[in-house]
Structure 1
Amino acid sequence: MSAGLPADIAVPGGYRLKIAARGVEVEGFDAAGVFYGAQTLLGLLPLNGGGVSWMTVEDAPRYPHRGFMIDVARNDKQPATVRRLIDQMAAYKLNKLHLHLSDDEGWRLQIPGLPELTDIGARRCHDLAETRCLLPQLGSGPANQPGGGYLSREQYVELVRYAQSRFIEVIPEFDMPAHARAAVVAMEARYRRLAAAGKPQAAAEYRLLDPLDQSNTTSVQFYDRRTYLNPCVPGSERFLAKLVAEVAQMHREAGQPLQTWHFGGDEAKNILLGGGFQDLKGADPGKGRIDLAKQDKPWGRSPACQALIAQGRIQNVDELPLKFAQTASLIVAGQGIATMAAWQDGVHGAAGASDFATAHTLVTEWDTLYWGAAQAASDFANKGFKTVLASPDYLYFDFPYELNPHERGYYWASRDTDSYKVFSFAPDNLPQNAEVMPDRQGKPFSVTSSAAPARFAGIQGQAWGEIQRNDSQFEYMAYPRLLALAERAWHKAAWERPYKAGETYQLGVTHLVDKAALNADWQRFAAVLGWREAAKLEKAGVGYRLPMPAVLAGANGARAAAEWPGARLQYSQDGRGWRDYHPGEQVQARYWRGLSQDGRRAGRAEALSGQ
């Protein structure tokens, strides 16, 4: 390590790599910097052997938070797949692994003393009473696969240790008070077991429901009131304290003291009381019609919560999500953890980061740009929150790569998110993106930079797991977009305009962004991806998405090109006998597909329309 680095790289993670006749030298501002310098060297080495040109590389990260979130709660992932993800994150200098370990559909970590969390909350089967498991969800079927599974305590410790050796911080998330159905159902089973054994006090210790609550509420993903743990019952606070203590101990054993606890905090609401619905008397044809008088806010009819209102401890149930987040911050701080993180709805209503007990409060900001993300993200940053951009329209990797019914993915925030779109993201000047990409309907929108300039902590990609039913589907959707994410997290491009208050951006209307420079930069990135990185991913066993051919049919045959230079393409007249396509050829063919560099995997076959 060296303190003699130039000022612009004398920051955590900064390094200097010298390759000369006398050998290789890596200097880093810190141990992480030395590691990143070594990763750069390894990245320069040809796969088939050979030397590396003499050069000096001086480099440093753009952001301290360069993250990736993997949702193992909805559909579990094998530890080997997560380790493979960690390897690739390290290779491309991402340093925060956000593990989404619990949700309505599953609980994925063994907690000593609470066996029901994994015995029931991590399994799915046809048990209508849910005394042995959760009901089948997300297409998992009755046999518990691929939806079921969990990390044992020992496996989690080893995973954290594995990440620590690669300078990656593991950020565990246990979502609450909403998205908590797996925990609620599991703790109800614990309650019944101990109550039947004549131990009522022990049974109630970690109970997460008010048994008298009759609130009629529907979550964003259409679960009933058991999707929310109840902040008004003492079992919820005790459960969280137990959970934080146990996970913190696991991190200590792994050699990575827990630095950040992700509380979750998102979507604690009744979706039927949201903007998409109206009362039965409403006449808006674009909204659903329901009887609003029969709908409750979460915990609206909970006697335990009504008692808190009567005592003057809260004014109404709307305050409960923020109050519980503040309680969580006290518990987290009590374990010596410096940072509590939450999705932005988890801190909604807070005046600033100082409303929480931890030294730092991190906000994972997931508004879309066309719904006001530029203003919202700046507001959080300027209120003292460490703000990490998780913009769904650019950084959610559960959306399809292209607008095609054969492509897997949700579409509520983006109709298509390919690697170019991720690469084109300008995080420091969010309004700029409105000049480059349309909204989720493919329509232009305008954004004016009206907020005060803000310094963000970083960005991260999200791989939500509802439609990633197995590990191969996860890797298909994560790669190669992860590489474009890593590029923007580490490096600020010359075509990213500086933020300036009062500027307006809109696709097809304003012409402030140097799109020629953006496209030239993309061509360089795509060339490296096609000629070098794709083969490295294959060697590592990563099942990345193969690029689809772009085919132009003509009178004398069809020509084709791929998203990346060097990508292999094939064609067929009948969809069975496949031949390699050579750039520039004109061929008579109806079916086209991509092929991996090693020839072992083929992409989805598409037929030319009209044939």
Structure 2
Amino acid sequence: MMAAAAPAAARQDGQGAPAAAAMRGERQAEPPGVASGARLRLRWELQRSVAEAAPGRTQGRFILTNNDSQPLPPGGWSLYFNSMDSLATGELAGRLVLEQVAGGLWRLRPAPGFAGLAAGRTLEIPYLHNQVMIKLAHAPVGPYLVYDAAPDTAVAITDFQHLPVTRPEQLDRRSAPGHALVTPADTYRRNQRAGLLPAAAVPPVLPTPLQLQPGGGTLALSGQPAVTAPAALATEAALARSLFPASLPPAGGPALRLSVGSVPGQSSPEAYRLAIAAGSGIDIVGNSAAGVAHGLQTLRELLPLPGAAAPALPELTIVDAPRFGYRGFMLDVSRNFHGKETVFRWLDLMARFKLNKFHFHLTEDEGWRLEIAGLPELTSIGAVRGHSAKPGVRLQPAYGSGPDPKDAGGSGFYSRADYIEILRYAAARHIEVIPEIEMPGHARAAVQAMEARYHRLKAAGGRDAAKYLLKDFADRSVYKSPQMYNDHVMDPGLESTYTFIEHVVAEVVKLHRAAGVPLRTIYMGGDEVPDGAWERSPASQARMRKAGLESTVDLWDDFYERVDRILRKHGLFTSGWEEIAARKTLLDGKPKLVPNPRFTRHGFTAYVWNNTTGAEDLAYRLANAGYDIVLAPVTKMYMDMAHNANPEEPGVNWGAYVELDDVYGFIPFDYLKNAPGGAGAGKDRLTDVGKRHVRGIQATLFTETVRDPALIDYLVMPRLVAVAERAWAPDPAWATGSDAARNEALYRTAWSGFVNALGQRVLPRLDLEGRGVAYRIAPPGLLVEGGRVLANHVLPGLALRYTSDGSAPTATSRVVAGPIAERGTIRVAAFDRNGRAGAVASVDNP
């Protein structure tokens, strides 16, 4: 697994004690008389965002302090770490060498002439990133120390921190346009598009229902409701009972009747009608059980916030149905693992906001997370990350998972029982689970696991050792993925590749059958196979000759033709990233993706993320060509994108910065309409036929930088509510008009209603229910004007508190009730209903 093995003299064979201990995940003692990795102190600092000697690159440095009583010796050790960025390798100042191990794993080691590091001394180690660094999410993570004399002993350097980025030279971004810092004044001006609305003017339900007819009175909640429902709606009846406050008397409440019937004028199976009347109680009728469940989620929204003195419901009638049948959320559990309790939590939140498709990203280069019967190496090796000097033991550390194979983010998988439990949990909430098995790229975990299986069986004399092999050992192809791997692609020339795919598909089908949950599709990847793959693989070249294929582009088509046949044999259709519906070509010497005519009648569904420069209209071109598509554009729907360019703001930025209003402003059928800088000029628009091929939209969360479940909350909420709004509700008036000034006025009104609903009702309800959702509380906007500090927030209704002595505001600090007249350093933060503080904004008011 790790390309960086110890010197030959220090290695142990597979029977040796250190190697056996490494297989068990045990730690061996570090060599005596040298500094322990546990006693090293490491700091990382961004020195210059644009290095003077190397424009377009970033100079960083490690600051290594030896807090041990023993020296770090002149040789015989390596300091490993992860970095998502490409680094400039070679000899560094001070006689150290920086090397790439594989992908995003790097190591520093001493070169001849290194003096060592005595006890109590500090060493500065400058080096270069090969691009301008904007986000601290790209800084090195997960450092650990290994001595050559004990190659299987890896000790994490736990005293490790990133130093803050505050100095002008650290923030100089002249070679990275479009990455300006966001100031408190910028935020204030952006927030001015919405003000605090009176409670009566706040929209009562999100996502916005199709039809809402208000009544004239209220229905008092004097006790728990009397729920009546047929046996087929037992799950929905249980949900109904759970909605009402436990503080209500056990009896005496209104009638709550649930039924499946016909919703007038609505053909969607998810449609519902909700009627609340003071005289008769509450009726919810759905075209299906899913419709009834959606009606109950709307009822939840209408209930008074927990703790209301005299709880009551407004009289009204709602007839509602979704705009799109596909309303999705993708969670990546491969790059960093997240257990089933986290999955359950997000399924609950999806149901709350009427999302119905859970795209389960289960496999990647850095982890295979689903137990597959008959292929134990997929999880015993492919689901475990950690240090090992011996190949074939486990995957290498990635994304800061460190050397310990028991690290919860790096290692872990769902047993078959876990997966069945997840399927049933989702089905009870009317959410379809779409499992993803990534291929042929992004498959390093599977490739290496099946290689380990091959070596194990071959050594034991097994006749079918190569049955599931995914790599051609004679392949000399030269390529590099965006994640910097050159050994991560399944070989389409090997019959064993298709044997593997057939086995995995059959086992996933069995799991769904065991759960009693239908399976309609498996997401079969297709993402980011780098140019150069397969070109020097004898197996692939032989397949091309046999099938009469001219290029590896044709080999790609051949691969997905066979993958599709495997799925069809099980009654499934093929889903995947946009590449499964596209073909690589050149236009004016530049690479371009065009619709692939080969698969338009195969029933593929392509999820289109790429709306970056040059591919702004790719989704529309694919839909117009006849492909079913799901819109998942990186500039609007990628929840792992940071909200802004400020270094401390979590998330990545390779595709865009995505604020809440960027998501809210997405127009599915005309998203180029409000594209900045005229980016939509000359691009294809959706035809009427193309519109019929848009199945829906999806929010996407990749987890390269997300090890803590609380960070999922921060990145996804409340942006996910804006996704739900766009997926469920029809286009708002501001999205369809031709008068730009009128559209802007309509937008401001609608946006104000949306953020007031979030700030006054939706998010406070989560707080008061004790759901523990650590949603993002954005920093306030601050503007110094006329000697006073003006403050506002993107979510009107959240409490703002401030200090004037430079200290951080707390839940007991003074409330912002108007312009702040105090002098000094004014610091302001917003707080949720439980007293949790958001990011602090600060200005000087001299």
Amino acid of the residue matched to residue 34 of structure 1?
A: V
Which of 2, 11, 32 is 2:290 aligned to?
A: 32
Partner of 1:511: 740
Partner of 2:473: 211
Partner of 1:66: 327
Which of 366, 377, 385 is 2:627 aligned to?
A: 385
Which whole-Å CA distance do the structure 2 matches of 1:113 and 1:457 have between them? Answer: 36
Which of 508, 516, 530 is 1:269 aligned to?
A: 530
Structure 2: runs of 5 or more not aligned: 1-258, 584-595
Listed one character per residue, the Cα deviations across residues 132-152 of structure 1 (whole Å, up to 9, x for unaligned) are 211111111112342221111
Partner of 1:185: 448
Which of 798, 809, 815 is 1:567 aligned to?
A: 798
Alignment of 1:247-262 (within 5 A): 247-262=508-523
Which whole-Å CA distance do the structure 2 matches of 1:381 and 1:352 have between them? Answer: 14
Amino acid of the residue matched to residue 163 of structure 1?
A: A
Asked if structure 2 preserves the Cα contact closer than 8 Å seen for 1:176 and 1:264, the reply is yes
Which whole-Å CA distance do the structure 1 matches of 2:637 and 2:569 have between them? Answer: 33
Amino acid of the residue matched to residue 578 of structure 2?
A: Q
Instruction: Give 1 or 2 for the bigger CA radius of gyration.
Output: 2
Moved more, 157-166 or 380-389: 380-389
Shift of 1:448: 4.6
Which of 407, 418, 423 is 1:160 aligned to?
A: 423
Moved more, 134-143 or 318-327: 318-327
Partner of 2:305: 47
Amino acid of the residue matched to residue 538 of structure 2?
A: P
Which whole-Å CA distance do the structure 2 matches of 1:540 and 1:577 have between them? Answer: 24
Q: Does 1:581 align with 2:815?
A: yes
Which whole-Å CA distance do the structure 2 matches of 1:352 and 1:546 have between them? Answer: 47
Alignment of 1:121-520 (within 5 A): 121-143=382-404, 144-199=407-462, 201-224=463-486, 226-270=487-531, 297-337=532-572, 339-349=573-583, 350-351=596-597, 353-356=599-602, 360-368=603-611, 370-374=613-617, 376-414=618-656, 416-434=657-675, 438=676, 445-448=679-682, 450-451=684-685, 452-453=687-688, 454-455=690-691, 456-498=694-736, 511=740, 514-520=743-749
Which whole-Å CA distance do the structure 2 matches of 1:110 and 1:513 have between them? Answer: 55
Alignment of 1:70-89 (within 5 A): 70-89=331-350
Moved more, 56-65 or 251-260: 251-260
1:421–1:307 Cα change, 3 Å = same
Partner of 2:32: none
Listed one character per residue, the Cα deviations across residues 152-189 of structure 1 (whole Å, up to 9, x for unaligned) are 11111100100000000000001100000011111111
Identity %: 37
SS in 1 for 2:670: helix
Amino acid of the residue matched to residue 259 of structure 1?
A: R
Listed one character per residue, the Cα deviations across residues 368-425 of structure 1 (whole Å, up to 9, x for unaligned) are 1643333x222222333221000100000111112311111222221x2111110110
Which whole-Å CA distance do the structure 2 matches of 1:425 and 1:352 have between them? Answer: 31
1:610–1:348 Cα change, 3 Å = farther
Which whole-Å CA distance do the structure 2 matches of 1:3 and 1:353 have between them? Answer: 39
Coordinate RMSD, CA, aligned: 2.0
Shift of 1:41: 0.7
Shift of 1:248: 1.0
1:497–1:475 Cα change, 3 Å = closer
Structure 1: runs of 5 or more not aligned: 271-296, 504-509
Which whole-Å CA distance do the structure 1 matches of 2:380 and 2:608 have between them? Answer: 33
SS in 2 for 1:373: coil
Shift of 1:76: 0.7
Listed one character per residue, the Cα deviations across residues 579-601 of structure 1 (whole Å, up to 9, x for unaligned) are 143231415343232222211x2
Moved more, 43-52 or 542-551: 43-52
Asked if structure 2 preserves the Cα contact closer than 8 Å seen for 1:568 and 1:596, the reply is yes
Which whole-Å CA distance do the structure 1 matches of 2:413 and 2:838 have between them? Answer: 31
SS in 2 for 1:329: helix
Which of 778, 788, 794 is 1:547 aligned to?
A: 778
Shift of 1:79: 1.2
Asked if structure 2 preserves the Cα contact closer than 8 Å seen for 1:549 and 1:594, the reply is yes
Partner of 1:278: none
Asked if structure 2 preserves the Cα contact closer than 8 Å seen for 1:591 and 1:607, the reply is yes
Amino acid of the residue matched to residue 470 of structure 1?
A: D
1:334–1:312 Cα change, 3 Å = closer
Listed one character per residue, the Cα deviations across residues 185-214 of structure 1 (whole Å, up to 9, x for unaligned) are 111111111111111x32101110001101
1:219–1:157 Cα change, 3 Å = same
Partner of 2:379: 118
If each structure's helix is expressed as a fraction of its own residues, which one has the higher value?
1
Amino acid of the residue matched to residue 351 of structure 1?
A: P
Listed one character per residue, the Cα deviations across residues 50-69 of structure 1 (whole Å, up to 9, x for unaligned) are 11110000110000000000
Partner of 2:192: none
Which whole-Å CA distance do the structure 2 matches of 1:520 and 1:262 have between them? Answer: 39
1:446–1:591 Cα change, 3 Å = same
If each structure's strand is expressed as a fraction of its own residues, which one has the higher value?
2
Which whole-Å CA distance do the structure 2 matches of 1:260 and 1:305 have between them? Answer: 27
Q: Does 1:17 align with 2:249?
A: no
Which whole-Å CA distance do the structure 1 matches of 2:420 and 2:357 have between them? Answer: 16
1:166–1:185 Cα change, 3 Å = same
Amino acid of the residue matched to residue 488 of structure 2?
A: T
Which whole-Å CA distance do the structure 1 matches of 2:374 and 2:826 have between them? Answer: 60
SS in 2 for 1:311: helix
TM-score, normalization by structure 1: 0.87
Which of 601, 604, 607 is 2:839 aligned to?
A: 604
Partner of 2:91: none
Which whole-Å CA distance do the structure 1 matches of 2:816 and 2:840 have between them? Answer: 17
SS in 2 for 1:35: helix
TM-score, normalization by structure 2: 0.64
SS in 2 for 1:574: coil
Which whole-Å CA distance do the structure 2 matches of 1:328 and 1:418 have between them? Answer: 38
SS in 2 for 1:590: strand
Asked if structure 2 preserves the Cα contact closer than 8 Å seen for 1:75 and 1:470, the reply is no
Moved more, 571-580 or 169-178: 571-580
Amino acid of the residue matched to residue 432 of structure 1?
A: K
SS in 1 for 2:464: helix
Which whole-Å CA distance do the structure 1 matches of 2:571 and 2:842 have between them? Answer: 58
Moved more, 125-134 or 456-465: 125-134
1:76–1:310 Cα change, 3 Å = same
